[in-house]
A and B are shown apart, each in its own frame.
Chain A
Amino acid sequence: MATMSDAPSESFRLSMLLNDKRYRAYTFQFIALLLLIGFFSYLGVNLVRNLQAAGLNISFGFLGDPAGYDINQRLIEYSKDSTHWRASVVGVLNTLLVAVVGCFFATIIGVVVGVLRLSNNWIVSRLMSVYVEIFRNVPVLIWILIIMAIFIAVLPQPRDFRGANAEASMFLDLFAFTGRGFYMPKPYFAAEWAAGATGWLIVIALLILGFIGSRMIAGNATKIQEATGNRPTTWYWTLGIWFGPLIIAFFVMGLSWDVPALKGFNFQGGIYARNSFIALTFALSIYTAAFIAENVRAGILSVSKGQSEAAASLGLRPNRIMNLVILPQALRVIIPPLISHFLNLTKNSSLAIAVGYMDLTGTLGGITLNQTGRAIESVLLLMAFYLTISLSISAIMNVYNKSISLKER
């Protein structure tokens, strides 16, 4: 058939646009393009007409105006006189905070549950299945609201801590678990030269040095092992290089703790994790963890039993079998869906609005939108932000998938 229609003698006729496979594709694409253009210009014309009728315009100038509202949780300097743009940045950071912390806990819980589900302990594996099924089959919004309800209704409010015979008291006099959130002691450095960020930079530097040092010790041990066959005991060296300098630094810089205390209406001082933040993060974590657990289980099951038997017959010990044979193969199955669960968690964090957590949906898509009435612009920016995050994570995932894909020979 191909040779027939490729014959040069056939000249072009108009009907071939519909009937000839070679040209029909162009016709369709042309029609599709026309429809698309028509659709968008229809929307565009409507938009222009509507805006004209209402006397409005599209402009992002409002981002430079003072926001005028306060945000409770802010990772960067922000006050009511800051611009809407800065309020959005505060929101972005809050979103990222929830996403990162949520992904971290979701992974830990998910892996533990996934492994326990495969446990040969009947009751544990059943319990884990129940957990997974319950959390997977109920909307995350309901979980967020339930956990928020625990905060509102169950935990004691700061007023319960007040008075001589208060209903509630602080845990060890250090931690306060209240309906408004958790208060924890906050470490800080008393030495003047180490106050603020300097001290923490030093700590981070020491941790990095500790890491490098411990790697060097391990490398050295391996060398000795290869030369003599005996691996020297190094754990006290490793421990020393990790913690020795840190303890000295803490001592020199005067590590102290800022303990929360009830002053006026609220606890003051210490680290304050707001109820909305905890409810959101916790709900997202346990919800996503249920999916991750399924993933991990599938990943481990995907490695055939022959693999571990073969490794055992080579004389590897169980933990080496896990590290060298099972995990590398299981991770290939686990990681791609894991990343898409992370992505889902990030997108679900936009439900923050249900508990009043000020993420980007709460600031830009919430208060800024309300106060300025710039609905189109705000929603556009909001979408652009989530789209950027999603696309960049997918891009990373694609690179990763390529790098781990089986090299077939």
Chain B
Amino acid sequence: MKKSVLLGTLTVAGLAAGAAAAGTLDDVKARGVLNCGVTTGLVGFAAPDANGEWQGFDVAVCRAVAAAVLGDGNAVEFVPTTGKTRFTALASGEIDMLARNTTWTFSRDVDLKFEFTGVNYYDGQGFMVPADLGVSSALELDGATVCIQTGTTTELNLADYFAANGMSYEPVPIETNAEAQPLYLEGACDVYTTDRSGLLATRAAFENPGDHVVLPEIVSKEPLGPLVRHGDNDWGDIVRWTLNALITAEEVGVTSENLDTIAGETKNAEIKRLLGTEGTLGEMLGLDAEWAKRAIAVGGNYGEIFDANIGPDTAIGAERGYNAQWVDGGLLYSPPFR
């Protein structure tokens, strides 16, 4: 009897799938929901809150894209992925885009056939140690036991860094950030290494964050960004320019608060093009004119999203640093909307 339920579900699933096999954009529109891959839980970047709602910096990107495409920032199905499953999930079409603090590297872009649509967080790998260990530099870590998340670039950077400095270490591979926490806190490893943003986020969840220090060394470049499958350029454009819209919005001073009024008041043509009151940018993307307006309306511009999720006022307390606008000396530099 139950066999047939399964078959039935399969049939239904098959029918649903058969309906749509065109580009990702059409798929998403037909489905009415954006499938967005995120981490299984990293406070500040993507984690379900007490009500089971996903919150975070990466989550905000997903919501912005959903708002731009579907008109509803909540029309997102968040798919938690691990370091192991994230790429297969994307390659197999289980998710439409991946926003899982994923480092943009050559081999992922070229060999794994993905398309990184930009950088939403410029990061670097760092080390966190308990303060009472008395370590002030990563170069003092010879012989230490290090917890690393497997399947990440940090694993390779770590091997390179220790080899380059002629130091030895004992790697303890961990599947998720959640599993790393107890190991590190109970002292089963001396050092926890991952992206600095991840370290800050992890530390923020500790009972006594002050007992742990993040060492000054940054051993790698970790540009984190959303990515999509290779080959569907239309879809890639939408994700890329949604992210750029958020960045540009901050640059030109469009916020979620003045969003409705600024288009009428401003003389800045780029704002008008961005918000769709001038030009046909939305149409070129295959969307309507107000796509960017909706994207910004969900969680605000890049700066607002940053401040709300990982900024200095949050538990994570990340400074803007490299992630400031280029005009402020940071690396955020969106191509013009023209």
Contacts and interface: CB of A to CB of B under 8 A. Distances in A.
Answer yes or no: A and B touching, Cβ < 8 Å: yes
B25 to A, nearest CB: 16
A297 interface: no
Given A68-B156, A69-B159, A373-B87, A152 B172 contact: no
Interface stretch (A226-234, A321-329, A361-369): A361-369
Contacts of B169: 70
A56 B170 contact: no
A358 interface: yes
B231 A55 contact: yes
Contact of B143 (A157, A263, A353, A371): A263
Interface stretch (A209-217, A264-272, A304-312): A264-272
Contacts of A79: 163
A240 interface: no
Q: Considering residues A151, A275, A366, which has the most beta carbons from chain B within 10 angstroms of its beta carbon?
A: A366
Interface string A367-408: 101110101000000000000000000000000000000000
Interface in B112-143: 112-113, 133, 141-143
Contacts of A151: 188
Contacts of B156: 68-69, 371
Q: Considering residues A50, A353, A356, A371, which has the most beta carbons from chain B within 10 angstroms of its beta carbon?
A: A356
Contacts of B160: 68, 80
Contacts of A179: 186-188
B170 A72 contact: yes
B219 to A, nearest CB: 14
B102 to A, nearest CB: 12
B175 interface: yes
B91 A54 contact: yes
B29 interface: no
A266 B145 contact: yes
Interface in B144-172: 144-145, 150-152, 155-156, 158-160, 162-163, 169-172
Interface in B11-48: none
A152 B170 contact: no
Contacts of A276: 172
Interface in B171-198: 171-175, 182-183, 186-188, 190
Contact of B171 (A70, A353, A370, A375): A70
B88 interface: yes
Interface string B288-308: 000000000000000000000
B171 A72 contact: yes
Interface in A47-73: 50, 53-56, 68-72
15 contacts: A55-B231, A69-B155, A69-B171, A70-B158, A151-B188, A157-B187, A159-B190, A180-B170, A263-B143, A265-B144, A266-B144, A356-B172, A366-B151, A369-B151, A370-B83
Given A54-B231, A353-B175, A369-B84, 19 more contacts: A55-B231, A69-B159, A69-B171, A70-B159, A72-B172, A80-B163, A152-B183, A159-B133, A159-B187, A264-B142, A265-B144, A266-B170, A356-B174, A367-B150, A370-B84, A371-B151, A371-B155, A373-B91, A373-B108
